[in-house]
Structure 1
């Protein structure tokens, strides 16, 4: 994963820890409800990997559901924030998902990866590792940027290319450079299918709570989705 991604999320860790769960409607009332709706009905006592845990919101939710959770993030500051959130209830590791993962084959029943994959240029390594460490029949659930959103940020406007884009996020009066990779829909789906069977494709719709907070944003999302969610399964 690009070193600049690590730097960006070290800078964003405090905002994620203190504000993302209360002030960011795109997390609270858009991506998270759709992801939670795709969780297996019962994950009690299942071994779950939160791959790219940020400040640990999903880690905490998985623990509430009775899962045995391992969480990872490339940012040391995010790892520290996640540890503050969950204490010793989960194992939280500083790992780069674009590298080999330090887990044995067939270690996990479920892998959750929320809004992480667009920060990785080559999906073969993480997907091959996810396939290796999932148990037969295990589930991968990930969300990523929707190509319809990303093409609007593209300078090249070449939809079928994979393109590095440097986005800027304003947080607490400061602009932070956040690089990510834009890619076409066919690449997202076909790369997933190389390693897994796809069970569901979801283009989230903002909730009524989102509409009450951000009516203009609600209308934009209903006409130009920002995120895409894929639920896939490892073969037996």
Structure 2
């Protein structure tokens, strides 16, 4: 992820650690229940990669299911927050998902990638790396922003354009600009830029 994204999430780490895990309705009542329904109740003996772990909420849930968890994130402060949450029970590392994964081929049974891919300008290399490190019949479970939601909220004119969006989030008493991509199709196009007209 580019420097702007990592700096934004360094600034947002306290908010994620203290607020997002408990009271943010999108996370608590929509994305996380949907993702957790797709993960088996028992993962004992399985190796799981939490790709884009943020403050470690998914890592903790995977550990509770018995998984051997490795977690990575590009934000140092998010990695520190995840380590505070899971301690030595998981292998939590600083790693940018735009770089090759530092893992052996066919190392993981599962990869969980929650609300992370939309921060990347291109998925091709990362998906190839996911395929490399997954065992045969391994599974990738990911979530991302819904393209139509962002199409409406950011007043877009071309639904099929791959667009770099800029939003303003709140971290304590300051505003943090967060960049992410809306990608509704497989067509390779030059990203456009836009700014949200109202704050989040």
Q: 2:107 maps to which residue?
A: 107
Looking at structure 1, the residues matched to 8 and 181 of structure 2 have their Cα atoms a distance apart, in angstroms, of 14
Q: Does 1:49 align with 2:49?
A: yes
Looking at structure 2, the residues matched to 69 and 176 of structure 1 have their Cα atoms a distance apart, in angstroms, of 30
Q: 2:190 maps to which residue?
A: none
Q: 1:4 maps to which residue?
A: 4
Looking at structure 1, the residues matched to 30 and 173 of structure 2 have their Cα atoms a distance apart, in angstroms, of 24
Looking at structure 2, the residues matched to 15 and 187 of structure 1 have their Cα atoms a distance apart, in angstroms, of 33
TM-score (norm 2): 0.90
RMSD: 1.4
TM-score (norm 1): 0.76
**C-alpha distance after superposition, 1:132-171 (max 9, x if no partner):** 0000100000000001111124465221111111111123
Alignment of 1:138-217 (within 5 A): 138-154=138-154, 157-184=157-184, 186-187=185-186
Q: Which runs of 5+ in 2 are unaligned?
A: 188-200
- How far off its partner does 1:21 sit? 1.6
Q: Structure 1 segments of 4 or more deviating over 4 A?
A: none
- How far off its partner does 1:54 sit? 0.3
Work out the number of aligned pairs and report it.
187
Q: Which runs of 5+ in 1 are unaligned?
A: 189-236
Alignment of 1:53-68 (within 5 A): 53-68=53-68
- How far off its partner does 1:180 sit? 0.2
Looking at structure 2, the residues matched to 77 and 59 of structure 1 have their Cα atoms a distance apart, in angstroms, of 16
User: Which one is further off, 134-143 or 158-167?
Assistant: 158-167
Looking at structure 2, the residues matched to 166 and 153 of structure 1 have their Cα atoms a distance apart, in angstroms, of 12
Looking at structure 2, the residues matched to 87 and 42 of structure 1 have their Cα atoms a distance apart, in angstroms, of 21
Looking at structure 2, the residues matched to 115 and 94 of structure 1 have their Cα atoms a distance apart, in angstroms, of 17
Q: 1:212 maps to which residue?
A: none
